[in-house]
A and B are shown apart, each in its own frame.
Chain A
């Protein structure tokens, strides 16, 4: 795939004797939005931690496999080198620095990147999220949930990443706000940043992504183009929910718009 895409190959991760991720392979081609779906405990966050090299904070380690960005191996690097290589993560639950101002949060986001790009990154972020410019002197802990999520995304963008990792950006947000975040992700992607989106909100994620992987108990059980997955009975029943007719209808519409309404899966493992 693409020259500087993110490639995860046969990755296994263990927390002590517990194996959280088993031989997972996935690719985020340059300029794509790829989503990883799965329920609680499926290993989604573990996967992102393995890419960002922050497993050690949770007592975990990669036991086999590799993570690389283009030709560059990321596994084995320190977290700050991963950021410098061009991979930034928006952690689950936002994790803004609550006692610091919005402006300082953004400065913190730029710490891992080259000094020269900071002004441009700040301008880009303020253009994406005008509200952050208005609130720049305010403590981040006083922002609303949606604003905090915007700040968390903006903070990650300050490092001008090639690949943005998003861990459940819609978690705990009102539907309207979740939609806003989704629009922003689309915009960020349109500006040339690849996105790896981890979500429980499958309807939202499948609308954004071009390619999707389904993770169950640490293994990839399903993968394929997002529209095909959105149309598959398995995903509809498990992740879109039979009662959520609107989402299904919308996913269907999306799939038809994309042409080729194949209801078969390209790959079906496990």
Chain B
């Protein structure tokens, strides 16, 4: 029973980190209708900045620098690449983001090499014990940070002018432009926010029990794709639920791997995609996605 509780708690914590990534993914999709395949490289960029700076300027300033840096990279990608292609087919843009992703990831993995760089977080490998259940401090920090950020984001999305502009642009770019919304600015903001959220996620993907930032970190970030897709690409609620679902599934599959050996090894990495496929079979638009409706 205690194993189950531990696995579940870890799953929720991991899931909230995936939700952060998925949220950035959804924000970009809603603001620009672009499926952003470069998201994992933004995450790697944020993590790399934090990892290289924390020795010199301390952890917290380095984390802030990582967030700002990833936001800047996101904004730069929007400004230098996406903006030039605006008005083109959205599928063209999605493919452009794959190109951006390859460029960024190649450069970052070249810099990281075969190293495993710790991010210098203050939590270390400390473990909190509540009765028979033990959970790492890092997992608690991940959950708290993600919950705070997501709440702040959702409040801003609902109540600020920025949020209103964003939602208006998501529903109809042309009509939003008629209201005086600057679409370029909305799109730039979305990419920056996505980058910032990804940098925070990078931190929690690389802390204990993971050894640190390495080349494969961007692969871990890829699990946020099924999270965003099974939640419904255009739904913020969907990103949260999808993130949690993927996190818990992965945690359960890994935690009970010994009971599932007949399915082979590495089920934890596979499980999120299985869940995604199963959900899309029943609900093709995702759990909370908008169904494509058209009257002829």
Contact = CB atoms under 8 A, between A and B. Distances in A.
A and B form one complex: yes
Interface of A: 52, 54, 56-57, 59, 78-80, 83-84, 88-89, 91, 95, 97-100, 104, 107-109, 111-113, 155-156, 159
A112 B165 CA distance: 10
A254 to B, nearest CB: 32
A155 B165 CA distance: 13
A80 B178 CA distance: 7
A111 B175 contact: no
Interface string B37-72: 000000000000000000000000000000000000
List of 4 A-B pairs having minimum Cβ-Cβ separation, nearest first: A112-B180, A83-B180, A79-B177, A108-B168
A84 B177 CA distance: 12
B181 interface: yes
Contacts of A97: 167-168, 171-172, 175
A137 to B, nearest CB: 13
Contacts of A78: 182
Contacts of A99: 167, 171
A97 B168 CA distance: 6
Nearest to A112: B180
Contact of A80 (B167, B168, B174, B177): B177
Given A56-B87, A108-B165, A111-B161, A100 B181 contact: no
B219 interface: no
Given A52-B178, A80-B180, A95-B175, 6 more contacts: A57-B173, A79-B177, A80-B177, A100-B171, A108-B176, A156-B178
A111 B179 contact: yes
B179 A112 contact: yes
Given A78-B182, A107-B161, A108-B165, A98 B171 contact: yes
A107 B164 contact: yes
16 contacts: A54-B178, A79-B180, A80-B181, A83-B178, A97-B168, A97-B172, A99-B167, A100-B168, A107-B161, A108-B168, A108-B181, A109-B179, A111-B161, A111-B168, A111-B179, A159-B180
Secondary structure at the B interface, as helix, strand, loop or mixed, is helix
A83 B175 contact: no
A211 B94 CA distance: 49
Contacts of A98: 171
Contacts of A80: 177, 180-182
A95 B172 contact: yes
A268 B15 CA distance: 71
Nearest to A89: B178
A190 B262 CA distance: 80
B180 A54 contact: no
Contacts of A108: 164-165, 167-168, 176, 179, 181
Contacts of A95: 172, 175
Contact of B175 (A59, A91, A107, A113): A91
B177 to A, nearest CB: 4
Contacts of B165: 108, 111
Interface in B141-183: 161, 164-165, 167-168, 171-182
A54 B174 contact: yes
A59 B174 CA distance: 12
A84 B182 CA distance: 12
A104 B177 contact: no
Contacts of B175: 91, 95, 97
A159 B179 contact: yes
Nearest to A78: B182
A57 B182 contact: no
Contacts of B176: 108
A32 to B, nearest CB: 22
Contacts of A79: 177-178, 180
A212 to B, nearest CB: 24
Contact of A155 (B172, B174, B177, B179): B179
